[in-house]
Amino acid sequence: KVLNVVAIELSLEAFGQDVCISDVFWMPNSEACLCVVTDVFVNVYDLSIDNISPSFSLRLPGATRITAATLCWDATTVAIMVMGEDGRLFLKRIGEGEEKEDGPMEMDMAVQVPKDMAAGGDVRG
């Protein structure tokens, strides 16, 4: 049963015509937090607070495009794992207790791929 409908202002036009949405999903254990994944950014909106400004806005270093994103979570922590077009993986913890910066945050915590897995060459698959 739908209880409420909220329009979200993504402002994609501010990033040019080449930005496309690749995924949208609800944050775990939340009825109000929505994650929007594009090839340029990952935005997390808390719709109980604001439907225009994201609570978290994540970017990859440099001009690296985003090819995939997923959530990792346990009872106390939620993190977003993002893969760039170059095959590197990045992880960012988000939510309560995590330090929030004003404006977009660059994801700087690269996930190390074990050498035996990366030794075969291209890890992008």
What the block records as the tokens of 76 is 């106390």
Give the span between the Cα atoms of 85 and 76, in whole angstroms.
30
Give the span between the Cα atoms of 12 and 57, in whole angstroms.
13
pLDDT at position 50 is: 87
What is the per-residue pLDDT across 32-89, written as a single tens digit (0 to 9) for each? 899 999 999 999 999 999 888 898 899 998 888 999 999 888 878 888 999 999 888 9
pLDDT at position 125 is: 39
Stretch 94-121: mean pLDDT:
66
Q: Per-residue pLDDT for 24 more than 80? A: yes
What are all long-range contacts of 110-113, with beta carbons under 8 Å and residues at least 24 apart? 111/81, 113/89
Q: Is 37 exposed, middle or buried (0-12, 13-18, 19+ CB in 10 A)?
A: buried
pTM over 0.85, yes/no: no
Q: How many residues does the chain have?
A: 125
CB 74 within 8 A of CB 93: no
Q: For 104, what's the count of Cα atoms within 13 Å in the CB-facing half-sphere?
A: 12
pLDDT band for 104, please (50, 70, 90 cuts): confident
